[in-house]
Amino acid sequence: MSQNDIIELNVGGGRFVTTRYVLLKEPQSVLAKMFEIDSTMEPAAKLKDGSYFIDRDPKRFEHILNYLRDDELGDLTRAELNNLKIDARYFMLENLLGIINERLDNSQNFLEGKIDKITSTTLDSQRSLEGKIDKITSTTLDSQRSLEGKIDKITSSILDSQRSLEGKIDKITSSILDSQRSLEKILKYSIVEKLDKIIYSIEESQRNLVKEIKRANFFEDTDLCSFDGLERESFRSEMENLSEISKSVEKSYDILTEIKRSIDSSESVLRQILKK
């Protein structure tokens, strides 16, 4: 037997082929004691196909075998390192165990560094956000105070306008009342009353005129024969004038009566408006 002997391994169902030299890389390991030339330790159970059976995880053993071949451990995640650490301890691979622990420590430090940076960044962001919130709050309060000031001014202006408007309304109302009282006085002593007086006077004149006409007709029927021709002609002319005057008076009476009706109607409408 020599270190160049080919060794076939069946690890958890996974087939591996290597040299004795590779398995002896770490002299104090279980693998070295199992396969060294003058070992007193029985190797693992040998299968019918001549391979040695080792009851471990084949995926983890692949990393162990590559480490023994290359003296280097490939890139593994933290979880893979923790799993590999179990088999490194089982096979008593102290150098490999040291590398794994170093990487786990570095990974822990790296992770803690990242956590510190994230924490620091978070705190900075928090302080920045708090500063922005303070500015926004201050700006909001300033805007609120400014808005309240504007609202106070608008409210004051509205109240002033309201008082001014109320004063104007009072003046207008007073003026309307004065106008209403004046109009009532005018209506009380309106032209209708004057028209009534005029119409009454015309009616009285008309009655007197009718009396005169009747009296004249009486004289015409009784005494006309006693008048001479000139007197009789003058009397007839006077009678015709009286008749014309009577017609004119009647016409004036009709016109004035129509005007009175129109004024009465207008007065009624105006009184209804005043009531409203």
pLDDT (tens place) for every residue of the chain, 276 residues total: 788 999 999 999 999 999 999 999 999 999 999 999 887 777 778 999 999 999 999 999 999 999 999 999 999 999 999 999 999 999 999 999 999 999 999 987 766 667 767 777 778 888 888 888 888 888 878 888 888 888 888 778 878 878 887 888 788 778 767 867 776 665 556 666 776 777 787 788 778 877 877 776 665 565 556 656 776 677 678 778 877 877 877 887 788 788 778 877 877 777 777 676
Of 88, 67, 57, 65, nearest in space to 17 by CA? 65
187 with 271: CB under 8 angstroms? yes
Q: How far apart are the first and last CA of the chain?
A: 136
| CA distance to 209, 216, 243, 245, per residue, from 240 (Å) | 13, 11, 5, 9
H helix runs in the chain, sequence order: 20-23, 30-35, 58-70, 78-90, 94-188, 191-222, 229-275
CATH superfamily of 6-92: Potassium Channel Kv1.1; Chain A (3.30.710.10)
Only one residue has tokens 């004063």, namely: 167
pTM of the model: 0.43
CA 114, CA 100: separation in Å to the nearest integer? 20
| Sign of the CA dihedral with 77 first, then 71, 5, and 39 last | negative
CA distances from 80 to 53, 55, 77, 104 (A): 23, 19, 5, 10
Place of tokens 């009534």: 196
The Cα–Cα gap between 204 and 25 comes to 162
**Residue 45 three-state SS:** strand
